[in-house]
Amino acid sequence: MPPLIVHRGKDGELMIYDGVTRATRVAKLLPGQTVTAEVTADRPNKDFTRYPTVEEKLP
């Protein structure tokens, strides 16, 4: 599986920019399984906590 593409924001929160579907499927079908993510941008001033988490979006 290709790595998720993420940006790292304030307090280390990660925002997925590519791979939401992959992350959601893994979370649903293999709960607890870790996946590889590639941090392509560090944005320490960006607060990503306002966005829903993968867990919150699980069908």
- Contact string (CB under 8 A) for other proteins, positions 6-45, x = contact: -x-------x-xx-x-------------------xx-x--
Interaction between residue 1 and other proteins (CB under 8 A): no
Both tokens of residue 55?
């867990």
- Is the Cβ of residue 32 or residue 59 nearer to other proteins in the bound state? 59
Report CA-CA distances (Å) from 7 to 28, 29, 42, 59. Answer: 22, 24, 6, 24
Alpha helices in the chain (DSSP H): 20-29
Residues listed for the chain: 59
Enumerate binding residues for other proteins (CB under 8 A). Answer: 2, 5, 7, 15, 17-18, 20, 40-41, 43, 50
